[in-house]
Structure formats: structure tokens, C-alpha cells
């Protein structure tokens, strides 16, 4: 059958009921809100807002930072050992195949 022609099943919703197809929503573009309509903010107000947002941040403690750093170091060591073993095994297999090919 040609593309776009033929039988198509209607969409089914909850409990098998037929659902009308939905139209995709248009995303607003930046051109709809020109820069001239935005209120201007003074540098002082900007830095006040930055400080207010900075106070909302939940900072980690030194203990949490230390534990996370140690965990990352352990994972780096484990993965490097894993890849070293895999590399050694693949190297051994390639060497054996080359010996068979040259023999």
C-alpha cells in the first residue's frame, strides 16, 4: 500500500475509548516578547536579587564534600582496574590470533 493511504486504527485512551487526536502545541518564540517591553533593572537591584537567590542554595557540608570526593576516587580506581583487565584480555586475544595467522 502507498504511504498515507489505507486503513489506520483510531487512537485509544483509557479503558479502550476512542480519543480524538490532539494538535501539537505551538511553542512561544522569543520574537513575541520584544526587549523594549521588559522593565529595566538597576545593577543594585540585580545584585540584591542575586544575593537573595544565593541564600536559597543548600550548600553541602565539608563532610559531605569529603565523602563524595572519596567515593569518586574509589570509582575511578575501580573503573581503571576494570579497563586495564579488559585491555589486557583483548591484547592477549589479538596476540593469539596473530600467532595463528602467522604460523
- Rg of the chain, C-alpha, whole Å: 31
Q: What is the pLDDT of residue 95?
A: 95
- Please write the tens of the pLDDT for every residue from 42-52: 999 999 999 99
- Please write the tens of the pLDDT for every residue from 64-92: 999 999 999 999 999 999 999 999 999 99
> Would you call 1 helix, strand, or coil by DSSP?
coil
Written as nine digits, the cell of 3 is 504511504
Asked whether 12 and 18 are in contact (CB, 8 A), the reply is yes
**pTM tops 0.85:** no
Q: What is the pLDDT of residue 7?
A: 58
Asked whether 4 and 11 are in contact (CB, 8 A), the reply is no
Amino acid at each position: 500500500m502507498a504511504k498515507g493511504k489505507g486503513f489506520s486504527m483510531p487512537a485509544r485512551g483509557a479503558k479502550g475509548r476512542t480519543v480524538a487526536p490532539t494538535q501539537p502545541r505551538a511553542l512561544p518564540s522569543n520574537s513575541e516578547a520584544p526587549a523594549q517591553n521588559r522593565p529595566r533593572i538597576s545593577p543594585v537591584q540585580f545584585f540584591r536579587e542575586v544575593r537573595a537567590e544565593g541564600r536559597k542554595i543548600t550548600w553541602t557540608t565539608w563532610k559531605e564534600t569529603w565523602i563524595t570526593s572519596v567515593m569518586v576516587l574509589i570509582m575511578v580506581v575501580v573503573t581503571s582496574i576494570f579497563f586495564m583487565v579488559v585491555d589486557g584480555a583483548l591484547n592477549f586475544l589479538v596476540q593469539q590470533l596473530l600467532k595463528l595467522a602467522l604460523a
